[in-house]
Structure 1
Amino acid sequence: MGALNLEERPMKFHFIPYPAQGHMIPLCDIATLFASCGHHVTIITTPANAQILLKSIPSHKNLCLHTVPFPSHQVGLPPGVENLSSVNNLDNSYRVHQAAMLLQSPIQHFVEQDSPDCIVADFMFLWVDELANKLHIPRLAFNGFSLFTICAMESLRARGFESSVIKGLPHCITLNATPPKALAKFMEPLLETELKSYGLIVNNFTELDGEEYIEHYKKTTGHRVWHLGPVSLICRTTQEKAERGQTSAVNVHECMSWLNSKQPNSVLYICFGSLCHFSNKQLYEIASAIEATNHQFIWVVPEKKGKEDESNDENEKWLPKGFEERNKGMIIRGWAPQVVILGDPAIGAFLTHCGWNSTVEAVSAGVPMITWPVHDEQFYNEKLITQVRGIGVEVGAEEWSIIGFMERKKLVGRDIIEKAVRRLMDGGVEANEIRRCAKEYAIKAKRSVQEGGSSHKNLMALIDDVKRLKEKDYKPLDS
């Protein structure tokens, strides 16, 4: 990483992550990149989230955590519940969001008392725009999406989010569902305020989003963007990778020993992220499809966290009788060391909800995907994976929820799931071409974060930009 010259003075950056794993982990990884360049970085978070981060991010002399109290009691949450991954229903997820919005006052007070040269904040915090303007410092926005997805959202936003057909992009895209109205209404002010920032930082690399989408974004919005990822690649050791996010629910060494005994590309990895909760009936269909393919698997079931000792009767509500005895696989009930698992040569495909962190981790490992989007921006990500870059196949999910906890009306049947799994795991011309393409993007991903790579150059250019703004006594444009 580019270290400071002796005559250069380090700058001060404040990072403000949103309390959800998909937002917090990549932004804090980005914070470590800035610290590695010799700049002083403070991550402003809450006590329980600080404990997660202390395990997840490498210790660095230039990086510190500042905590502000999480107002759990004000919104009716138990003490210590400070992250969306800690709740399992719609009401409590709303309470976490509500509490996160109440962090404005203590965070604002701290930033005003200890003004940085630049604020890097999650786009969920709309008030940071006004704070940065007041302090005459640049604000960088982060939202955890790919630039392709942001371009698609901006295109639909111009038409009121009322279509599944996205016009005006470099590719002709038709989503498998129309965005829910409630989600569109929620996203509108976030996207609008994001464009008022000095620029956007993205956890992706230029080669995956594509130069054509970078040009499209700049041309249609006039906004700056820097690709700094994939940030998951900054984790070097197995331990660092395993503890990224939370403590694993499985012994990492046992898991890796099991995988090391398998043939290359022979194991299916299944994980729908920390916020997607499927019904017992849907889990049963997934289990039945896995069994029908006869492939070995690792299946992460986060919604069963804390119920590892559930009775056989409870198990059989979502698993066919005798499933675990009959099948050559591993079920992880809780948080899984995903980056470690995806990096193993035995993994042949990833059945995924298309959350952006999961997507970019799979791309970095060269693992092709079987796409099953559920909520938020995942239906956009699916099209980048399958149609635009050709590194996955679709299950064909058509029900778009506003959040992963919601009950879904449609059941995705075992036959459809089995067919999609076989397209990649059974081999053949299509599977081989997708696998070849996925391996190529993995090589590009690794190159991008190395010295001289596209993301490394972007990081250096961004830091130089902020330095110039500081020297010029930055004045934000009136918005």
Structure 2
Amino acid sequence: MNAHSNPAAAAAAGTNPHFILVPLMAQGHMIPMADLACLLVDNGGLVSFITTPVNAARISSTLAGVRSSAIPIRLVELRFPAAEAGLPAGCENLDLLADYKLHKPFVEVFPLLADQLELYLRHQIPAANCIVSDNKHAWASSIARKLRIPFIIFHTPSCFYLHSTFSIKRHNIFDRLKDDFEPFFLPDIPQRIQMVRPQVERWLDSPTWEKLRGECYAAEEAADGVIINTFEELEPWCVERYGIATGKKVWPIGPLSLHNRETETRESATSIEAAIDAERIRKWLDDREEGSVVFVSFGSLARNPISQLIEIGSGLEAAGVGFVWVVKEVEVRSSTEAERWMDQFERRSESEKKGIVIRGWAPQTAVLSHPAVGGFLTHCGWNSALEAICAGVPMATWPHFADQFLNERLVVDVLGIGVAVGATVPLKPADEERKDAVVMRGAVANAVVRLMDEGEEGEGRRRKAREFGEKARKAMDKGGSSNEYLKGLIAHVIGVTL
């Protein structure tokens, strides 16, 4: 075996491949890319992690351990052109945008980072061997082509989502529909799964995004391959069919969160208040019976108005099970009414020892791994879904937007480890026009009761969830499928750039 077919041997021979990672500035994209950086370094690679000042401060704790090692991760800060996009200073991440209407100018300003990145790459020692870019950074493809560097797309959604949306586009499904809510079956999959257009539309499918959509499609066409944060045993036929359909090399090298599972700061919480909340949650869970608690969290971008918060809380009370509910501070601070209702709900829940409410942040991976947690009420973002799968915890799925509806179908219909709450209408993050609840307390209570069911149906979901959790851990271990794909990725990059 020569040095170029083995990452460890390559490192010893002084041929460590230098990866340039360019994540989308959104927590759901930054965190898995940071985990990828750590994984590459631990397997003999060098990494330059391209970001901006605000995002560097947020992600530095995740990278700290590896950055202090002998082969550091270079955290490269580019000036974010907020003024050019008409954005307030410091708005360098999607979850910092106060209005959904700012998403388009935010994304459209990304190409203005190109000159800074090219200047960095031209002066690097050792030279870059590969650019790994989020698919929204189509401009990075042009730099790779100009500098003759291999270019690889990093996808954060499930392979099921990628395969489904690619097939919908390939078969021109949208062109055949009479209206947005005419049902259709997903093409090119073994299951009969019915969707409507708004549930599968991507950002790039919006009418005003034609230019960026074309650029992203062209960048993917030009890419050497794609990295996906999944593992082969979770969606085997999807990985195979997606690779055949796209004609690309596909490297499923997840779940990436497992590689960094010891780092509690992954979730970007370093404050004293967050540490106090984490200890409070742990103590509360320690007093609960195994599998008796449902964890409730909807990610960093989704926003619930007071009417929806009331329905969630009332549904949890009606279900009669213990809960840990994470409520974003921006939701509670949205009105005096929300503050007052949440205060009353918190006092009532804690006095009756039914549950606790956490405002802001909770250590999600640690909570899901606690023996007392038996279910997860989630927005079905892929990072959250993967963390539940790794912990062997079944889910009640409540998708809001983007890839979440297709992730729900994977969790519920394909894997059989979830219960759908019943959300059917996509909701944009930070949508100020939304005032009313879209899922009522009865549906919330019913989903939670089914999720925590101790009968044959519930035990079947729990058994499958545990099995997938074990497969996830084996995939990331030495000799596992994801570990082998990672070796193949590094060997490919070294071979191309010799």
2:77 pairs, out of 32, 42, 67, with 67
- Residue 282 of structure 1 is matched in structure 2 by 308
Q: Distance in 2 between the 1:205 and 1:196 partners?
A: 24
2:270 pairs, out of 247, 250, 253, with 247
- The answer to which of 262-271 and 328-337 deviates more is 328-337
Q: Where do residues 359-378 of structure 1 align in structure 2 (5 Å cutoff)?
A: 359-378=385-404
- Residue 413 of structure 1 is matched in structure 2 by 440
> Does structure 1 residue 21 correspond to structure 2 residue 48?
no
- Residue 416 of structure 2 is matched in structure 1 by 390
Instruction: Check conservation: 2:144, 2:150, Cα contact below 8 A.
Output: yes
Q: Distance in 2 between the 1:13 and 1:313 partners?
A: 46
Instruction: Check conservation: 1:88, 1:405, Cα contact below 8 A.
Output: no
Judged with a 3 Å threshold, the aligned counterparts in structure 2 of structure 1 residues 406 and 121 are, in CA distance, closer, same or farther, namely: farther
Q: CA deviation at 1:143?
A: 2.3
- Residue 228 of structure 1 is matched in structure 2 by 253
Structure 2 residue identity aligned to 1:146? S
Q: Where do residues 1-400 of structure 1 align in structure 2 (5 Å cutoff)?
A: 3-4=8-9, 6-57=12-63, 58-60=65-67, 61=69, 62=71, 63-114=73-124, 115-158=127-170, 159-161=172-174, 162=177, 164-175=184-195, 178-179=198-199, 183=203, 184-185=205-206, 186=209, 188-189=213-214, 190-210=216-236, 212-237=237-262, 240-247=263-270, 250=274, 251=276, 252-304=278-330, 307=333, 314-316=339-341, 323-324=348-349, 325-326=351-352, 328-400=354-426
Structure 2 residue identity aligned to 1:132? A
Judged with a 3 Å threshold, the aligned counterparts in structure 2 of structure 1 residues 419 and 69 are, in CA distance, closer, same or farther, namely: same
Deviations 1:211-242 (A, max 9, x none): x11221122221111011111111243xx124
- The answer to which of 384-393 and 93-102 deviates more is 93-102
Q: Distance in 2 between the 1:303 and 1:372 partners?
A: 20
> Does structure 1 residue 436 correspond to structure 2 residue 463?
yes
Q: CA deviation at 1:30?
A: 0.5
TM-score of the aligned structures, taking structure 1 as reference length: 0.90
Instruction: Check conservation: 2:25, 2:94, Cα contact below 8 A.
Output: yes
Q: Distance in 2 between the 1:98 and 1:263 partners?
A: 50
Structure 2 residue identity aligned to 1:469? V
Instruction: Check conservation: 2:346, 2:356, Cα contact below 8 A.
Output: no
Q: Distance in 2 between the 1:209 and 1:407 partners?
A: 37
Judged with a 3 Å threshold, the aligned counterparts in structure 2 of structure 1 residues 401 and 433 are, in CA distance, closer, same or farther, namely: same
Q: Distance in 2 between the 1:3 and 1:341 partners?
A: 35
Deviations 1:27-60 (A, max 9, x none): 1110111111222111011111111111122333
Instruction: Check conservation: 2:303, 2:331, Cα contact below 8 A.
Output: no
Instruction: Check conservation: 2:49, 2:75, Cα contact below 8 A.
Output: yes
Instruction: Check conservation: 1:233, 1:446, Cα contact below 8 A.
Output: yes
Deviations 1:330-386 (A, max 9, x none): 211112211111111111110111101001111001110000111001111001101
RMSD of aligned alpha carbons: 2.5
- The answer to which of 121-130 and 110-119 deviates more is 110-119
SS of 2:497 mapped into structure 1 = helix
SS of 1:103 mapped into structure 2 = helix
Instruction: Check conservation: 2:421, 2:444, Cα contact below 8 A.
Output: yes
SS of 1:396 mapped into structure 2 = coil
Deviations 1:84-126 (A, max 9, x none): 1223421344454344443233223322443411000111011
- The answer to which of 314-323 and 409-418 deviates more is 314-323
SS of 2:295 mapped into structure 1 = strand
- The answer to which of 57-66 and 462-471 deviates more is 57-66
Instruction: Check conservation: 2:53, 2:77, Cα contact below 8 A.
Output: yes
Q: Distance in 1 between the 2:473 and 2:196 partners?
A: 31
Q: Distance in 2 between the 1:106 and 1:123 partners?
A: 19
Q: Distance in 2 between the 1:255 and 1:456 partners?
A: 33
Q: CA deviation at 1:81?
A: 2.7
Q: CA deviation at 1:397?
A: 0.7
- The answer to which of 428-437 and 59-68 deviates more is 59-68
> Does structure 1 residue 467 correspond to structure 2 residue 477?
no
SS of 2:419 mapped into structure 1 = strand
Q: CA deviation at 1:80?
A: 2.6
Structure 1 residue identity aligned to 2:358? I
Q: Distance in 2 between the 1:12 and 1:233 partners?
A: 23
Q: Percent identity?
A: 35
Structure 1 residue identity aligned to 2:116? P
Instruction: Check conservation: 1:55, 1:244, Cα contact below 8 A.
Output: no
Instruction: Check conservation: 1:104, 1:127, Cα contact below 8 A.
Output: yes
SS of 2:267 mapped into structure 1 = coil
Q: Distance in 1 between the 2:122 and 2:35 partners?
A: 24
Q: CA deviation at 1:287?
A: 0.5
- Number of residue pairs aligned between Structure 1 and Structure 2: 467
Judged with a 3 Å threshold, the aligned counterparts in structure 2 of structure 1 residues 2 and 466 are, in CA distance, closer, same or farther, namely: closer
Judged with a 3 Å threshold, the aligned counterparts in structure 2 of structure 1 residues 404 and 203 are, in CA distance, closer, same or farther, namely: farther
Instruction: Check conservation: 1:142, 1:202, Cα contact below 8 A.
Output: yes
Flag structure 1 segments of 5+ consecutive residues without an equivalent. Answer: 472-479
Instruction: Give the structure with the larger helix fraction.
Output: 2
TM-score of the aligned structures, taking structure 2 as reference length: 0.87
Q: Distance in 2 between the 1:9 and 1:121 partners?
A: 22
Instruction: Check conservation: 1:118, 1:139, Cα contact below 8 A.
Output: yes
- The answer to which of 379-388 and 255-264 deviates more is 255-264
